[in-house]
Amino acid sequence: MADVRRDITSQFKAIAIDLEQQMENQLWQFENQVYGQLEKNIAEARQQTESDLLQM
């Protein structure tokens, strides 16, 4: 019976580690997408501001 409990506990730990890795990967992908878009928006706004200043 103890062996069965150990096996079940081991399986749950493996599942928990896998889920944690999946969550970290999804967070990394989300952050890259969000920060990438923010950087793009900032670059476009900077370029527009510079263009507007040159036209003055």
Rounded Cα–Cα distance for residues 45 and 47 (Å): 5
pLDDT for the residue 56: 77
Per residue in 1-56, pLDDT tens? 999 999 999 999 999 999 999 999 999 999 999 999 999 999 999 999 999 988 97
Q: Outline where 1-56 has alpha helix (H).
A: 2-55
Rounded Cα–Cα distance for residues 21 and 29 (Å): 12
pLDDT for the residue 21: 98
Total residue count of the chain as it appears in this document: 56
pLDDT for the residue 4: 95
- The first and second tokens of residue 48, run together, are 């527009």
